[in-house]
């Protein structure tokens, strides 16, 4: 990024820069990967570019389905132009299949397909280790109103239907994903952040055996190796399909 654009914020996987237009930002996707609240860190050359391309495609699909998002356009391989938004400090996780923390925290068996999608909401706060939060606690903390929470939940369920179908078309099972929402300059609620194999679990359906083949950040979380190969495969399938 050149000097004209000021670094506004640096997160674990992205950098946000100012844009000439005050209502917009430039978001750069980094090659860094973290897991377990950054207890585990690594760099994967090319991850930023792959996530940027994958996320841009997915946001285009969601925009076409009338989901309000911050995404404006792909700028180059690892940067996008987006609306500047005020992020709501909640991480909205939707699960179609039980895996990860749901199975560590309950007696539900890994790989169980859920009768209906489960939405788990976490407080976005690294110091507190992003704890699971309740509706009542969200209200108590005045994070958002219950009406706004219902809006977020409705959008998340709608996004799930769109994404599940899309990924099924490219032989991927959408196990779960994490979303973040925010307000744009007109105070509209929009989907922010990214949708990529960093924050979705995607299992390969092109497998003969019953073994789970993760094509997402679990390759890093669980030391499976082949992260770039997995992300490249997803990018390839998306490009071949669109």
Tell whether residue 201 is a contact of ligand TMP (CB under 6 A).
yes
Tell whether residue 124 is a contact of ligand ASP (CB under 6 A).
no
Find, among 146, 195, 190, the residue nearest to 172 by Cα. 195
Instruction: Give the other-Cβ count within 10 Å of 174's Cβ.
Output: 20
Could you tell me which residues come within 8 angstroms of residue 136 by beta carbon, excluding any fewer than 6 positions away? none
**Which positions from 156 through 195 interact with ligand TMP, judged by CB under 6 A?**
176-178
Tell whether residue 7 is a contact of ligand ASP (CB under 6 A).
no
Instruction: Give the other-Cβ count within 10 Å of 147's Cβ.
Output: 7
Tell whether residue 119 is a contact of ligand ASP (CB under 6 A).
no
Choices 35-43, 46-54, 65-73, 136-144 (CB under 6 A): range interacting with ligand ASP: 35-43
- Whether the CB-CB separation of 222 and 206 falls below 8 Å is answered with no
**Which positions from 199 through 238 interact with ligand ASP, judged by CB under 6 A?**
217, 221
Picked from ligand ASP, ligand TMP, none, the partner binding residue 200 (CB below 5 to 8 A depending on kind) is ligand TMP
**Which positions from 27 through 66 interact with ligand TMP, judged by CB under 6 A?**
none
- 3-class SS at 87? strand
Count of residues making up the chain: 242
Q: To the nearest whole angstrom, how small is the minimum distance from the Cβ of residue 198 to ligand TMP?
A: 6
Burial class (CB in 10 A: 0-12, 13-18, 19+), 127: exposed
Find, among 235, 229, 102, 119, the residue nearest to 172 by Cα. 235
Q: Which of 5, 31, 35, 171 binds ligand ASP (CB under 6 A)?
A: 35
**Which positions from 123 through 162 interact with ligand TMP, judged by CB under 6 A?**
130
Q: How many residues bind to ligand ASP according to rule CB under 6 A?
A: 8
- Whether the CB-CB separation of 70 and 184 falls below 8 Å is answered with yes
Q: To the nearest whole angstrom, how small is the minimum distance from the Cβ of residue 58 to ligand TMP?
A: 14
Sign of the torsion formed by the C-alpha atoms of 177, 165, 27 and 49: positive
Q: To the nearest whole angstrom, how small is the minimum distance from the Cβ of residue 40 to ligand ASP?
A: 7
Tell whether residue 93 is a contact of ligand TMP (CB under 6 A).
yes
Picked from ligand TMP, ligand ASP, none, the partner binding residue 179 (CB below 5 to 8 A depending on kind) is none
- Whether the CB-CB separation of 227 and 47 falls below 8 Å is answered with yes
Q: To the nearest whole angstrom, how small is the minimum distance from the Cβ of residue 167 to ligand ASP?
A: 19
Q: Return d(Cα 213, Cα 3) in angstroms, integer.
A: 42
Measured from the CB atom, the residue of 70 and 178 that comes closer to ligand ASP is 178
238: left (phi over 0), alpha (psi -120 to 50) or beta: alpha
> Could you list the residues that contact ligand ASP (CB under 6 A)?
12, 34-38, 217, 221
> Could you list the residues that contact ligand TMP (CB under 6 A)?
93, 100-102, 130, 176-178, 199-201
């Amino acid at each position: 990024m050149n000097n004209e654009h000021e670094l506004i914020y640096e997160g674990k996987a992205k950098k946000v820069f100012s844009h000439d237009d005050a209502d917009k930002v430039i978001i750069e996707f980094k090659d860094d990967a973290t897991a377990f609240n950054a207890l585990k860190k690594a760099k994967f050359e090319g991850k930023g570019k792959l996530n940027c391309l994958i996320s841009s495609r997915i946001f285009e699909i969601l925009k076409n389905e009338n989901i309000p998002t911050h995404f404006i356009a792909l700028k180059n391989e690892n940067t996008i132009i987006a609306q500047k938004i005020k992020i709501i400090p909640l991480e909205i996780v939707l699960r179609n299949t039980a895996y990860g923390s749901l199975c560590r925290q309950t007696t539900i068996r890994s790989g169980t397909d859920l009768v209906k999608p489960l939405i788990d909401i976490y407080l976005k706060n690294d110091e507190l280790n992003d704890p699971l939060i309740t509706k009542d606690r969200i209200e108590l903390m005045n994070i958002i109103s219950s009406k706004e929470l219902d809006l977020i939940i409705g959008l998340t369920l709608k996004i799930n239907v769109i994404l599940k179908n899309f990924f099924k078309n490219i032989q991927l099972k959408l196990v779960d994903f994490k979303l973040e929402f925010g307000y744009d300059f007109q105070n509209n609620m929009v989907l922010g952040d990214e949708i990529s194999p960093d924050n979705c679990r995607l299992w390969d359906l092109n497998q003969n055996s019953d073994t789970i083949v993760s094509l997402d950040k679990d390759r890093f979380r669980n030391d499976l190796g082949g992260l770039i190969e997995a992300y490249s495969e997803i990018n390839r399938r998306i490009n071949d399909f669109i």
